[in-house]
Chains A and B, each alone.
Chain A
């Protein structure tokens, strides 16, 4: 079974990006940020850089990203530099229609 279980949390090795797995992938593969494998949330990591001035973050807080081929879907819980990918395939931003509050 994939390590990318729903609810599992991962962080970028190189930036401040953090994500939560919302939907697991149906195939084996590697979740990457800025091209480098993402680390489990609990892993030790050296200091990381903030998003360089004038450039866009690769992952934005609150947005969901998905890989159509494997079904993997993640939620960005902290913005950071470096695009998200799964085994080299870029994750696509999942555009969600904003719903009015109903609760």
Chain B
């Protein structure tokens, strides 16, 4: 199966329904297919080996995604927020390529060897001409996504057509959405969730409206105007939306479901969201680029049960990412690669047809199909998965493995703590020491914060160093840049001569 088939089937069954854009004048499924076929003609005729994409959400994105699929050409949406020099480096890695670039970004990427540039506007405009017969290549690689590079040089994750279509078919009902349903896409095109949102929405027959660049006010306005029923957000976006709603009486009556993921959800934030939007189903989705998006979900019932329960093991599920989706296996592995006990932390391994686990030049999936995710976590007695964070972020203090996430969760419950990151800093005696970087509302006493942690966790988990900052560095999709923070702290220590 290939991604082009998804738009072909949508056009046959729901030709006149609006696929992308406003309910009044959006592009129908029939138009989307015709335009994607026309754009595929352009791509096939260009001699490009890869279609690169540098731009915000707009019609050009789904069009380029489907057209690339129809032409059998890998599609590589790039992170336009990178500094020019890094963006150009990524673009150079796609050559020989056709790059679809937003008008305003063209000057930033001109002159990269082997890259032909077409503006997003022209790409869409030219896609209205009648499609001609073209030789499609055997569909193989559907999408190349450069990982955010929070831990080094960006890797190009390979997602083949079989991974993406298997994900879509196994998680979504074909044309199962009602005509009134509408999803809002807020994550940028270079994020796996943006790719999967387009594919699953078109497969299910759910209209999409796109927010070119996220602002909470604009999101609220669009949800009301387009009667949006479904949304996907990263936790930081949800917080900012709730801030906007705080000052308004009007709610979001059309909204039925919000799924969230892409970063740690603070308990206070999800509890606040559940209280402010009681009619909305909240779904926590956990997934990785390398797994074609979602691999486990904490559904709306789980959320409601957790909030209503006095049982601590049910209540804490608000912090879990739920249970694996059907057909996908999850296993927690100890450092010796044996299966961990219930409740015992280890590396999260996954296996299933949607799992690629492959990068350009490196295969991380094992021959038996298991993909070590490099995330660490544990599973409770009912099969709920808890994700502690990246394995690389685990602090090893005197031989003890300490997860920053657990300490952050505790510190975040302190009334004076607005945001917090816990990192390991080099230590001559222990190898690493636990350091907490705190954004505070008042001016909490570091000793009081240590006592707060010590009274709730083992004493070795109490932060030895505490630093205060005005803000923490995040990617725009909500991932904490721990490495950047660590470097910054190390530099400031050096400057202070300690």
B-binding residues in A (CB < 8 A): 6-7, 9, 20, 22, 61-62, 64, 75-78, 96-103
Contact = CB atoms under 8 A, between A and B. Distances in A.
B183 A102 contact: no
Given A22-B169, A100-B257, A103-B294, A62 B174 contact: yes
Contact of B175 (A61, A97, A103): A61
A101 B13 contact: no
Given A61-B174, A75-B174, A78-B12, A99 B281 contact: no
Interface in B173-200: 173-176, 183, 193, 196-197, 200
Contact of A64 (B169, B193, B201, B300): B169
A101 B206 CA distance: 11
Given A62-B175, A101-B232, 5 more contacts: A7-B2, A76-B174, A77-B12, A99-B297, A102-B259
B173 A98 contact: yes
Interface in B194-215: 196-197, 200-201
A101 B200 contact: yes
A103 B176 contact: no
Contact of B283 (A6, A64, A75, A102): A102
Nearest to B181: A101
B257 A101 contact: yes
A19 B447 CA distance: 67
Contacts of B175: 61-62
Contacts of A76: 174
A64 B1 CA distance: 14
A5 to B, nearest CB: 9
Contacts of A6: 1, 162
A64 B326 CA distance: 15
Nearest to A102: B285
22 contacts: A6-B1, A6-B162, A7-B2, A7-B5, A9-B5, A20-B9, A22-B169, A61-B13, A62-B175, A77-B12, A78-B13, A99-B325, A99-B326, A100-B257, A100-B299, A101-B172, A101-B259, A101-B283, A102-B171, A102-B293, A103-B196, A103-B285
Nearest to B299: A100
Contacts of A99: 171-172, 297, 325-326
B64 to A, nearest CB: 18
A103 B200 contact: yes
Interface in B286-301: 287, 293-294, 297, 299-300
Chain B: interface secondary structure? mixed
Contacts of B264: none
Residue of B174, B176, B200 most packed against chain A (CB within 10 A): B174
**7 smallest beta-carbon distances between A and B, as pairs:** A102-B285, A62-B174, A7-B1, A103-B197, A102-B294, A103-B196, A100-B283
Contacts, number: 77
Given A61-B13, A62-B175, A78-B13, A101 B1 contact: no
A100 B230 CA distance: 10
Nearest to A79: B13
B77 interface: no
A11 B13 CA distance: 15
Contacts of A97: 326
Contacts of A62: 173-176
Contacts of A96: 170, 173, 326
Contacts of B196: 103
B424 interface: no
Contacts of B5: 7, 9, 20
B261 interface: yes
A103 B1 contact: no
B29 to A, nearest CB: 13
Given A6-B1, A78-B12, A78-B13, A102 B261 contact: yes
A103 B259 contact: yes
A64 B170 CA distance: 10
Contacts of A78: 12-13
B232 A103 contact: yes
Nearest to B192: A103
Interface in B228-284: 230, 232, 257, 259, 261, 281, 283
A100 B281 CA distance: 9
